[in-house]
């Protein structure tokens, strides 16, 4: 190899090293310093009171079993739940007779507004009433309305108003997709206004005489679902 070519190669190599760092002494290379600037952010809700969180969806019931028939709100999420009290002589039904029971639903304190439906009707297990008779359960029919108050939950009041959720003459297993709107309370410490419901339970005129002296316990489940 000739000398001009060798010198030209070495010259380019030195320039490349110097471009990558400063050469001080034997084998010591110092690179140029880098400047770093970071920005962190955190998640906050739109009220500026903390991070993202979850809402509360909580329903309560009142079956008017408080002292002297006063409202007694409770959470009854498991069978057999709160007890509906049907009117006088509900245990002595005759063919063609109808008895009535009022109740209410509401959104609990701190809950968002809810939309409930009557999702299920079943016969209770014998733990409620050992004489729970399946033949009588199958013979009885019922109807359900919203907007009928406790005071109106009788023959005249039931016939005169309210919104039909379950039409008359339906079996006790009948459900309803008609929404029951439960408003939220005015603030987080206040429950929503109760929505009145009234059940009308009927022993049809065609009831067989073999049903005399029987008793049964129907159950109904109201539900409210949010999310997917």
Q: What does the pLDDT look like over 142-196, one tens digit per residue?
A: 999 999 999 999 999 999 999 999 999 999 999 999 999 999 999 999 999 999 9
- The string of pLDDT tens digits covering residues 91-144 is 999 999 999 999 999 999 999 999 999 999 999 987 888 889 999 999 999 999
Beta-bridge mates of residue 30: 22
Residue 11 clears pLDDT 80, i.e. is over it: no
Q: Give yes or no for residue 28 having a pLDDT over 90.
A: no
pTM above 0.95, yes or no: no
Tokens of 152: 């109106």
- According to the model, what pLDDT value does residue 48 have? 78
> Pick from 224, 227, 15, 16: which is nearest to 106 by CA?
224
**Structural domain spans, the chain:** 59-223
pLDDT at 134: 95
């Amino acid at each position: 190899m000739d000398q001009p070519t060798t010198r030209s190669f070495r010259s380019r190599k030195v320039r490349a090293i110097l471009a990558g760092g400063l050469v001080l002494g034997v084998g010591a290379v110092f690179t140029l310093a880098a400047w770093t600037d970071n920005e962190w952010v955190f998640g906050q809700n739109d009220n500026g009171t903390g991070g993202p969180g979850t809402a509360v969806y909580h329903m309560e019931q009142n079956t008017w079993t408080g002292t002297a028939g006063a409202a007694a709100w409770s959470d009854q999420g498991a069978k057999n739940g709160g007890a509906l009290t049907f009117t006088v002589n509900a245990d002595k039904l005759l063919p063609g007779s109808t008895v009535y029971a009022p109740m209410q639903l509401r959104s609990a304190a701190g809950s968002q507004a809810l939309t409930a439906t009557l999702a299920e009707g079943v016969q209770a297990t014998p733990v409620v009433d050992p004489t729970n008779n399946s033949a009588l359960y199958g013979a009885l029919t019922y109807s359900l309305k919203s907007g009928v108050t406790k005071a109106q939950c009788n023959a005249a009041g039931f016939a005169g108003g309210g919104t039909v959720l379950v039409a008359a003459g339906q079996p006790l297993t009948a459900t309803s997709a008609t929404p029951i709107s439960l408003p939220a309370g005015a603030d987080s410490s206040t429950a929503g206004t109760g929505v009145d419901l009234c059940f009308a339970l009927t022993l049809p005129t065609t009831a067989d005489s073999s049903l005399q002296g029987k008793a049964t316990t129907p159950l109904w489940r109201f539900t409210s679902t949010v999310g997917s």
